[in-house]
Amino acid sequence: MVRKRTKGRDYAVQMLYSSTVTENTPEETKSSFRLEYEKELPEILDFADKLFDTAYKNKEKDETLISEFIAKNWTIDRIGLLERCILRLGISELFEGDAPYYAVIDDYVTLAKSYGDEKSASFVNGILENVKNKFSLEMNNDSK
Q: Which helix (H) or strand (E) holds 54?
A: helix 42-57
Query: pLDDT tens digit string along 94-134?
Result: 999 999 999 999 999 999 999 999 999 999 999 999 999 99
Q: Where are the beta strands (DSSP E) in 26-122?
A: none
Query: pLDDT tens digit string along 12-59?
Result: 999 999 999 999 999 999 999 999 999 999 999 999 999 999 999 999
What CATH number does residue 114 fall under? 1.10.940.10
Q: How many domains does the chain have?
A: 1
Domain that holds residue 123: 4-142
Separation CA 123–CA 120 (nearest Å): 5
Q: Taking the CB of residue 103, how many other CB atoms lie within 10 A of it?
A: 16
Cα–Cα nearest to 109, from 94, 137, 87: 87
